Amino acid sequence: MRAPDSYDAIIIGAGHNGLVCAAYLARARLRVKVVEQRSVVGGAAVTAEFHPGFRNSVAAYTVGLLNPKVIGELALHDHGLTIVERRVQNFLPTLHGDHLVSADGQTKAQLAKFSARDAERFDAFNAAIDVVADVLRDLVLRAPPNVVEGPSVRGLVEAVRAALTAKRVGGLSLEQRRILLDLFTKSAGDYLDGWFEGDLIKALFGFDAVVGNYASPYTPGTAYVMLHHAFGEVNGKRRTWGHAVGGMGAVAASMAAAAQRHGADIETSAPVREVIVERGGACGVVLADGRAIRARAVVSGVNPKLLYTKLIAADALPKTFLDRMRRWRCGSGTFRMNVALSRLPRFTCLPEPGDHLTAGIIMAPSLAYMDRAYQDARQQGWSREPIIEMLIPSTLDDSLAPAGAHVASLFCQHVAPEPPDGSSWDQHRDTVADLMIATVDRYAPGFAASVIARQALTPLDLEREFGLLGGDIFHGALSLDQLYSARPMLGYADYRGPLPGLYHCGSGAHPGGGVTGAPGHNAAQAILADLRWPFRRAARERP
């Protein structure tokens, strides 16, 4: 019989995926506890007051990838979630008077200003992306086929899973399969150069390829990261981005409310010190304050490298597994700022206030500029001409700032995850924050003078605050060697770790990073299958 203080599942980390997993497990009537090191839930999806009267999403800042099935099944709208769409998707200003606006029904006319050929090709480009994005959409809520050794029942199950994936891809025409191959292997730069001639249209899509991805847009594999940002939707509209009213913390709050409604117990300010391993299996956690909490399933929502190198004794893990996990590639190259503004910015190329100020404002006018930003960061620690996306959520949500004032998110790339000269990011925070403000000021003179207060998070701050190693926003690079059946490692893509009773529910599992809820959803299915049918779990036990 179970001890009264033990649970069916203990979840490490109340990031949004931990909360989604908790909600699904609790909904299935399991006894679930979530323990979070921070004083608030949400992980990277969180809102905070960073200056008196000014609130903003601290890290993640825009919604588009959150899975509609998760929203529906967990009734997130009934638990307080409201998502409003940007009135313009993106606005790309330049320093010499031109600009590009991408918005429903307007983008083609905008493109025609620069190139009739680009405007003509735009629909075909979107159709090509959509074909592959549709395949991804079908795969995000399914465990990838897991690679297993030797003939076994598990092997058969995985073979069926692989056949289902092959069937989905096999349904594509030959040309569509070629597009899929391109998008999984090519650089975004090569892919986009093959379609368009205008710098701004290529920059619009190229930004998605380097966001959170410490790479040049000409690095092979970046076309996939571009695609990863294309499979979302908001309020039923595909490839649309929106804003959660109240900031990203409202997304997490709605998930926490759903989990609690079904009976999950969520404890904050409760860091896990280590996972308890007995007789080769995971069976609970010890918190920093020494309390032990036991459970049939131990579910990790943290970066897998953090789990395996910091929270589990090395001698409890298979050596080859641990060696590989130590080489898990983390490090995003992002610098995140929140600023309180006394007034809206006036861009030289489009000065009057308008819907373009509700957009993701991308300051990075070409792929060549993005390539230089990466090369510069590798050599000097940060790019002297950085890539910045600015979002001003108070244009869509007046709950974030006092009347007449505004808040803006600056998502800045590229900075090195660790400065190459061995110095600490603590020495450079203010210098780089000044550079980011000055960069926006070049496009919108007067911006610097309108900044009332600022919050700046270096990669080191993201690691310290949220456990995002190297500031990696995805819990591990989205490169081919770390995707799908290889996320987090070949043989462990089914949300089950190398120890019986241990599971992965965070972004380090398929389909990876972003506020999607998908890893949390998928992990819950694996855990439910094992806890309901323990004989199946035994059959799956690792050698």
Ligand X SMILES: Cc1cc2nc3c(=O)[nH]c(=O)nc-3n(C[C@H](O)[C@H](O)[C@H](O)COP(=O)(O)OP(=O)(O)OC[C@H]3O[C@@H](n4cnc5c(N)ncnc54)[C@H](O)[C@@H]3O)c2cc1C
d(CA 456, CA 459): 10
Q: Per CB under 6 A, which region of 258-266, 412-420, 505-513, 523-531 contacts ligand X?
A: 505-513
Q: Restricting to residues 313-352, which ones interact with ligand X according to CB under 6 A?
A: 334, 336
Contacts of range 154-159, beta carbons closer than 8 Å, 24 or more positions apart? 154/539, 154/540, 158/494
Q: Per CB under 6 A, which region of 9-17, 126-134, 343-351, 522-530 contacts ligand X?
A: 9-17
155 binds ligand X (CB under 6 A): no
Phi then psi for residue 71, to 5 deg, are -60, -45
Phi then psi for residue 435, to 5 deg, are -65, -40
CB 153, min distance to ligand X, A: 31
Question: At 168, which amino acid appears?
Answer: R
Nearer to ligand X, 37 or 187 (CB): 37
35 binds ligand X (CB under 6 A): yes
d(CA 250, CA 229): 21
Q: Per CB under 6 A, which region of 42-50, 126-134, 253-261, 490-498 contacts ligand X?
A: 42-50
CB 239, min distance to ligand X, A: 13
60 binds ligand X (CB under 6 A): yes
Contacts of range 422-425, beta carbons closer than 8 Å, 24 or more positions apart? 423/381, 424/460, 425/458, 425/459, 425/460, 425/461
CB 61, min distance to ligand X, A: 4
Q: Per CB under 6 A, which region of 54-62, 75-83, 160-168, 397-405 contacts ligand X?
A: 54-62
81 close to 244: Cβ distance less than 8 angstroms? yes
463 binds ligand X (CB under 6 A): no
467 binds ligand X (CB under 6 A): yes
478: CB partners within 8 A, 6+ apart: 213, 224, 225, 228, 512, 513
Site string for ligand X, 403-432 (x = CB under 6 A): --------x---------------------
Indicate the residue whose CB is closest to ligand X: 15
The single residue among 7, 11, 13, 107 that binds ligand X, judged by CB under 6 A, is 13
CB 434, min distance to ligand X, A: 19
Distances, alpha carbon 12 to alpha carbons 68, 299, 493, 520, in Å: 25, 6, 19, 12
Nearest residue to 485 via CA among 73, 147, 130: 147
203 close to 367: Cβ distance less than 8 angstroms? yes
Interface size with ligand X, residues (CB under 6 A)? 39
65 binds ligand X (CB under 6 A): yes
474 binds ligand X (CB under 6 A): yes
Phi then psi for residue 166, to 5 deg, are -60, -35
Nearer to ligand X, 13 or 93 (CB): 13
Q: Which two tokens stand for residue 74?
A: 């967990």
Q: Restricting to residues 255-294, which ones interact with ligand X according to CB under 6 A?
A: 271-272
Distances, alpha carbon 167 to alpha carbons 100, 314, 508, in Å: 40, 40, 26
14 binds ligand X (CB under 6 A): yes
| Residue ranges binding ligand X (CB under 6 A) | 12-18, 35-38, 43-45, 59-62, 65, 271-272, 301-302, 311, 334, 336, 411, 462, 466-468, 473-475, 506-507, 513-515
